[in-house]
C-alpha cells in the first residue's frame, strides 16, 4: 500500500506551483500521505484490487477539489486560489493495489503511471479460481414435501428437475441466495 500511496502523493504534489516554498510542498506531501494511509487502510485488498476503487479515487470535478487535497493544503498553508490555478479542472487519480492511474478531463483516457507486476500476476493467477460459491442463508436443507427426503443430503435419491419444480412451495423455497467468498 505504501508504494502506491507514495506515487499518488508525489503525483499530486507535482501539481503545486513551482513558486511554492519547499517547506509548504513538503508539508502538503506529508499531510496528504498521512490522510491517504488512513483512508485506504479500510479498503485495501490486494487479492481484489478494484474492490473499493471508487472510495480510493481522488477527484477534482468541475474545479471542485477533493476534500483530501483541500485538507492537506490547509495544513501546508497553501491558498485555495493557488490550488485552483495549478490543478486541472477535471482530474481523477485511482490508487489501487499494484496500480496508480489518472485521467485528466471528463473524456480523457486513463493513464497508468505506476504498476507492480507481482500484484498483477497474483491477480491473473486468481482469475482462474472461482471467486465465490453460492450458499443459502438458511442452514436447513430443502425438504421435498412428497418424499420427506432432504435434497441436500448425500444419501437422498436424486430427484428429477420436473419432480422438484412440480412440488408446492415450502417455507424454504424462496430462501435468498448470497455469495460467500472462498478463501
Return mean pLDDT, the chain.
Answer: 77
- Which among 85, 109, 126 is the end of a domain? 126
More confident position, 101 or 172? 101
Question: 137 and 120 share a domain?
Answer: no
Q: Residue 44: what pLDDT? A: 87
Under the banding of pLDDT at 50, 70 and 90, the label for residue 19 is confident
Of 4, 148, 15, the C-alpha closest to 69 is 15
Question: 102 and 136 share a domain?
Answer: no
Quote the CA–CA distance of 71 and 31 in Å, as a whole number.
8
Question: 42 and 19 share a domain?
Answer: yes
Q: Residue 139: what pLDDT? A: 44
Q: Quick check: helix, strand or coil at residue 13?
A: helix
Q: Quick check: helix, strand or coil at residue 63?
A: coil
Q: Residue 60: what pLDDT? A: 95
Least confident window among 2-16, 56-70, 146-160, 165-179: 146-160
Q: Quick check: helix, strand or coil at residue 92?
A: strand
Question: 135 and 94 share a domain?
Answer: no
Q: Residue 173: pLDDT above 60?
A: no
Question: 27 and 56 share a domain?
Answer: yes
Question: 169 and 145 share a domain?
Answer: yes
The arrangement of strands across the sheet holding 91-96 comes to 58-60, 91-96, 99-104, 111-115
More confident position, 42 or 31? 31
- Which among 126, 157, 174 is the end of a domain? 126
Under the banding of pLDDT at 50, 70 and 90, the label for residue 88 is very high
Q: Residue 175: what pLDDT? A: 53
More confident position, 181 or 85? 85
Q: CB-based contacts of 113: which residues, under 8 Å, 6+ apart?
A: 7, 11, 100, 101, 102
Q: What is the number of domains present in the chain?
A: 2
DSSP 64: B
CATH code of the domain covering residue 40: 3.90.640.90
pTM of the model: 0.65
Question: 139 and 105 share a domain?
Answer: no
Question: 85 and 151 share a domain?
Answer: no
Q: Residue 167: pLDDT above 50?
A: no
Domain enclosing residue 161, as ranges: 130-183
Question: 100 and 164 share a domain?
Answer: no
For residue range 97-139, list pLDDT tens digits in order: 999 999 999 889 999 999 987 765 655 555 555 544 444 444 4
Long-range Cβ contacts of 168-176 (<8 Å, 24+ apart): 170/142, 170/143, 170/145, 172/136, 172/138, 172/140, 172/141, 172/142, 172/143, 173/142, 175/136, 175/137, 175/138, 175/142, 176/136, 176/137
- Which among 126, 141, 173 is the end of a domain? 126
Amino acid at each position: 500500500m505504501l508504494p502506491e500511496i507514495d506515487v499518488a502523493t508525489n503525483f499530486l504534489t507535482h501539481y503545486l506551483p513551482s513558486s511554492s516554498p519547499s517547506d509548504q510542498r513538503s508539508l502538503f506531501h506529508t499531510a496528504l500521505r498521512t490522510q491517504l494511509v488512513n483512508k485506504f487502510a479500510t479498503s485495501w485488498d490486494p487479492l481484489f484490487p478494484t474492490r473499493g476503487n471508487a472510495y480510493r479515487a481522488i477527484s477534482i470535478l468541475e474545479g471542485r477539489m477533493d476534500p483530501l487535497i483541500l485538507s492537506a493544503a490547509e495544513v501546508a498553508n497553501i491558498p485555495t486560489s493557488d490550488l485552483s490555478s495549478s490543478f486541472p479542472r477535471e482530474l481523477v487519480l485511482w490508487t489501487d493495489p499494484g496500480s496508480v492511474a489518472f485521467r485528466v478531463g471528463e473524456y480523457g483516457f486513463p493513464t497508468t503511471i505506476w504498476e507492480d507486476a507481482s500484484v498483477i500476476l497474483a491477480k491473473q493467477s486468481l482469475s482462474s479460481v472461482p471467486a465465490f460459491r453460492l450458499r443459502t442463508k438458511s442452514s436447513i436443507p430443502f425438504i421435498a414435501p412428497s418424499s420427506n427426503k432432504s435434497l441436500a443430503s448425500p444419501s437422498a435419491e436424486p430427484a428429477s428437475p420436473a419432480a422438484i419444480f412440480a412440488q408446492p412451495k415450502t417455507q424454504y423455497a424462496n430462501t435468498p441466495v448470497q455469495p460467500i467468498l472462498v478463501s
